[in-house]
Structure 1
Amino acid sequence: MELNSDISDFTRRDLTLLGKTKPVLLTGATGPAVIVIHEIYGFTPTLARFCRWLGDAGLRVYAPILFGAPDASNLEKPSMMRILSLCISREFTILRANRSSPVTDWLRALARLAHHECGGPGVGAIGMCVTGGFALSMALDPVVLAPVLAQPGVPALNSAAIDIAPEDLDRVRERTRHGLELRGYRFEGDTICPASRFAALRSSFGTAFTGTELPDVAGNPAGMKARGKPPHSVFTGDLIDAAGQPTRAAADEVIAFFRRTLLQPDAAA
């Protein structure tokens, strides 16, 4: 399907959870749910494409809109105003290390609702860029069985840190001792999600964390490279949608991870 802003195949719901209302875009089958959290750009045509792939694989996608327009009109271009607004927002912890963003409480509530509505053993969750670490905090809830961290970009001022409170980190680490698996993806030369952040995740979770690092040559020339920067967005703007491409293979791997974990009735909690 050609990339454009048409998301007529998605359904919008305004969901009130924990006293806060946010738009959520839904698409896909009637299978187990996956929470797909957008990048700093907001919901974009390339993110819609990724959501459709999940839907085609038999999963039900819930894509919350945390900022930006609640459609696919958002441009994949950096906005200083957006960055500044997130830095001062009470819902997001962008700069400080060892803290969980308050918005992850709402996302965990969304995961519980999605699990109630869709059934199955639990739900999957993937965060990207500024929301990349949110999937880790969401794994505090036992309904989240398949967390994926795509190029987690915060905390911005500490490249070797993770955006989760120490006590929350301990709780997720305890879950990994009972079978929880975590996955992460980044490009080797990415300076927004540096190698030191994956090193911290490996140190924290050992073999429970599978971190895949793609060569920069695998990035889409029309993505970040077109701005003279290393590729960053593994599953959206820097993905090359063609057979044999490492980024498309990474997307297929994530889809397989969700299917393996969520479509089995005896998935580990």
Structure 2
Amino acid sequence: MSLLDSWTQGDHRASGVRHPTYRKGSGPGVIVIHEIPGLTPSVIGFGEELVEAGYTVVMPHLFGEPERPMGARSVASTLRQVCVNREFTKIATRQTSPVANWLRSLARELHAELGGPGVGALGMCFTGGFALAMMVDDAVAAPVLAQPSTPFVVSPSRARDLNLSDSDLAKVKERAAAGCEVLGLRYLKDPAVGKRFERLTEEIGEKFIKVELPGKGHSTVTEQRSQVAVDRVLEFFEEKLRA
């Protein structure tokens, strides 16, 4: 039996862009954006935990092969796919990845259907910063950044870059000042995150809530899953989405 057999497959279209989606559950909406190499068994398992906690979970399929496990080959093949895809900003600084517009549209649609204060959005690793970009839209009430790693850390400036345009960063700061908090998760010795947590603290201060785990792990809620991180995500969604 496929891990996704119990999920409803659909798609979402916005501005001429289409991506498949998988949906399951009931309750407030949460969008889970998978890491490289894609919708791995660990990502799907995390989605199932959110469903069991009482959320309507939507998982977009942006790249990779659904259900293919994490591994050197799957990561390498997906990186080749991602590196030629113009929807994703990999190296450039002070730019928002174009796929953020599609994700914001998905969030608006889900919020319009389910109501409530807004929806949650969790990005991880390569897509970690996408949840921050989605916060530009008022439909997103609970953005979570799990080990945000884009643009790739190949220089000091990129290590601090938030994968946001100047105008989007200004909107993020405006929403934070109005009370919208951002949750960040990382392992303290994970080099892929660079200095982004420090930068976010500089930009939005106490509205950036950090969960910093000891050690050299990377994937906080999937491959190197931390129960501390998962519990804090569940608490955050409970606080923000069930008001």
Q: TM-score, normalising length from structure 2?
A: 0.93
Paired residues of 1:26 and 1:60 also in contact (CA < 8 A): yes
Unpaired runs of 5+ residues, structure 2, are none
Residues of 2 paired with 1:21 and 1:190: CA distance?
A: 33
Q: Let me know the Cα RMSD of the aligned residues.
A: 1.4
2:87, 2:99 within 8 Å by CA — same for their partners in 1?
Answer: yes
Note if contact 1:185-1:234 (Cα within 8 Å) is conserved in structure 2.
yes
Q: Does 1:56 align with 2:52?
A: yes
Q: Establish whether residue 149 from structure 1 lines up as the match of residue 133 from structure 2.
A: no
Which residue identity does 1:23 align to in structure 2?
P
- Give the CA deviation at 1:204: 1.1
1:174-193 aligned within 5 A: 174-193=174-193
TM-score normalised by structure 1 residue count: 0.85
Query: How much does 1:81 deviate?
Result: 3.5
| Structure 1 stretches lacking a partner, 5+ long | 217-229, 240-246, 265-269
Deviation at 1:117, TM superposition (A): 1.9
Structure 1 residue corresponding to 2:71, chosen from 73, 77, 80: 77
Q: What's the CA shift for 1:163?
A: 0.7
Aligned residue in 2 for 1:88: 84
Aligned pair 1:256/2:235, yes or no? yes
The structure with the largest helix share of the pair is 2
Q: Distance in 1 between matches of 2:119 and 2:165?
A: 22
Preserved CA contact (<8 Å) 1:146 1:182: yes
Write out per-residue CA displacement over residues 163-207 of structure 1, whole angstroms, 9 at most, x where no aligned residue.
Answer: 11111101110011111000100101111113x121111111110
Q: 1:237 aligns with which of 217, 223, 230?
A: 223
CA contact (8 A) 1:5 1:45 kept: no
- Could you tell me how far 1:251 is from its partner in structure 2? 0.4
- CA offset at residue 120 of structure 1? 1.5
Secondary structure at the aligned position of 1:163 is classed as coil
Matches within 5 A, 1:150-165: 150-156=146-152, 157=154, 158-165=158-165
The amino acid of 1:150's aligned partner reads A
Judged with a 3 Å threshold, the aligned counterparts in structure 2 of structure 1 residues 5 and 97 are, in CA distance, closer, same or farther, namely: farther
